[in-house]
C-alpha cells in the first residue's frame, strides 16, 4: 500500500499526517518526529513497518503541513492534539514511537492515556538535567535570524549538505532542508517545549513496555541515563549503526522494532 496524506481537525486547527499500511492483527503504530522536521522524516521507516501494520506519521503542530499554534505550545498541549488524532481515527489502542522531541510527546500521551498505549519505542531521548534546561531553552527563545544574519541561510544549507553520517542522499537533504525552512520563525518552538517539560517525571511514570534502541548518535548517553528511570525498559545497543536509523533502516533495527511490537 502506498503512503497517503490526510488531515484531521485538532485544537490548533488542521493536523496533517501520513498513512500507510492496513489495520490487521498488529496494533497500529504512530510515529512522532523530532523538531523541526515533519512526519515525512519517517518515510522509509514507515514503508518498512507498514508491510504488516498500519503506520501513522503526523506533523507536529507548527511543522510540516499542520496548522501552527498562535504561541509556543507545551509538550502537554502538543500531546493533547495527538490524542485528538488517535481518538479521531477511532483507535482503541496503539503503539507509539518517538524520536528526540517526539519522545516527550509519546511519553506524555502514554502517561495520560495508559490504557490507550500498549508499547513505546523511544530512541534518542533528550534527557537534560533540570538545572540546565532553562539556560538551554534561552538559546531558542529568539526567532532564527533569517533576515538579520546575511549568511544564515547559506550556513544552514552548508550544514545540511555537509553531514554524511545521516546517510541521506542529495534529494533527501533537499527535502529535509525544506521542512526545516517551512517552519520559519516558529522553528524553535518545539525545542522550547522540550526544555520546559519535566522529562524525569514523565519517564518515571511510564507503565508500558519500552524499547530503547541506542545507535551511535548524539543522544546515546542521555538515552542510557534515561533507561534507569523507566520501569519496563528494554535496552538494545546498536553502536555499530552510525547512520540515521530512520533513513538507513538497517535490517537489524527493523527486525528489533517489529519483534518488540509483535
What is the rounded distance in angstroms from the CA atom of residue 117 to the CA atom of residue 58?
16
What is the rounded distance in angstroms from the CA atom of residue 171 to the CA atom of residue 179?
13
Q: What is the pLDDT of residue 164?
A: 62
The pair phi, psi for residue 178, each rounded to 5°, is: -65, -40
Predicted confidence pLDDT, tens digits, the chain (262 residues): 799 999 999 999 999 999 999 998 899 999 999 999 999 999 999 999 999 999 999 999 999 999 999 999 999 999 999 999 999 999 999 999 999 999 999 999 999 999 999 999 999 999 999 999 999 999 999 999 999 999 999 999 998 887 665 678 889 999 999 999 999 999 999 999 999 999 999 999 999 999 999 999 899 999 999 999 999 999 999 999 988 899 999 999 999 999 999 9
Q: Which residues, 6+ apart, have CB-to-CB distance to 57 below 8 Å? A: 17, 18, 30, 31, 33, 39, 40, 41, 42, 46
Number of domains the chain is built from: 1
Range of the domain at 164: 4-261
The pair phi, psi for residue 122, each rounded to 5°, is: -130, 75
Q: What is the pLDDT of residue 159?
A: 86
Q: Which of 135, 250, 142, 253 is nearest to 189 (CA)?
A: 142
Q: What is the pLDDT of residue 195?
A: 97
Q: What is the pLDDT of residue 161?
A: 84
Q: Do 119 and 106 form a contact (C-beta atoms < 8 A)?
A: no
Q: What is the CATH number of the domain that holds 85?
A: 3.40.50.1820
Amino acid at each position: 500500500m502506498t503512503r497517503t496524506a490526510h488531515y484531521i481537525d485538532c485544537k490548533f486547527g488542521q493536523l496533517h499526517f501520513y498513512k500507510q499500511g492496513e489495520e490487521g492483527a498488529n496494533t497500529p503504530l504512530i510515529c512522532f518526529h523530532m523538531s523541526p522536521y515533519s512526519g515525512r522524516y519517517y518515510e522509509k521507516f514507515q514503508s518498512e513497518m507498514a508491510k504488516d501494520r498500519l503506520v501513522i506519521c503526523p506533523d507536529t503542530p507548527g511543522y510540516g503541513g499542520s496548522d501552527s499554534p498562535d504561541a509556543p505550545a507545551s509538550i502537554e498541549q502538543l500531546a493533547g492534539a495527538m490524542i485528538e488524532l488517535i481518538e479521531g481515527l477511532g483507535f482503541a489502542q496503539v503503539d507509539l514511537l518517538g524520536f528526540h522531541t517526539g519522545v516527550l510527546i509519546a511519553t506524555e500521551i502514554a502517561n495520560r492515556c495508559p490504557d490507550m498505549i500498549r508499547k513505546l519505542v523511544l530512541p534518542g531521548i533528550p534527557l537534560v538535567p533540570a538545572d540546565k534546561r532553562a539556560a538551554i531553552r534561552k538559546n531558542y527563545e529568539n526567532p532564527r535570524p533569517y533576515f538579520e544574519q546575511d549568511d544564515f541561510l547559506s550556513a544552514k544549507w552548508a550544514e545540511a549538505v555537509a553531514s554524511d553520517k545521516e546517510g541521506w542522499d542529495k534529494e533527501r537533504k533537499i527535502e529535509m532542508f525544506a521542512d526545516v525552512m517551512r517552519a520559519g520563525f516558529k522553528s524553535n518552538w518545539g525545542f522550547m517545549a522540550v526544555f520546559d517539560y519535566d522529562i524525569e517525571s514523565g519517564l518515571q511514570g511510564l507503565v508500558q513496555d519500552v524499547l530503547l534502541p541506542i545507535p551511535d548518535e548524539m543522544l546515546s548517553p542521555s538515552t542510557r541515563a534515561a533507561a534507569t528511570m523507566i520501569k519496563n525498559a528494554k535496552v538494545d545497543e546498536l553502536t555499530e549503526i552510525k547512520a540515521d536509523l530512520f533513513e538507513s533502516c538497517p535490517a537489524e533495527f527493523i527486525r528489533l522494532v517489529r519483534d518488540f511490537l509483535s
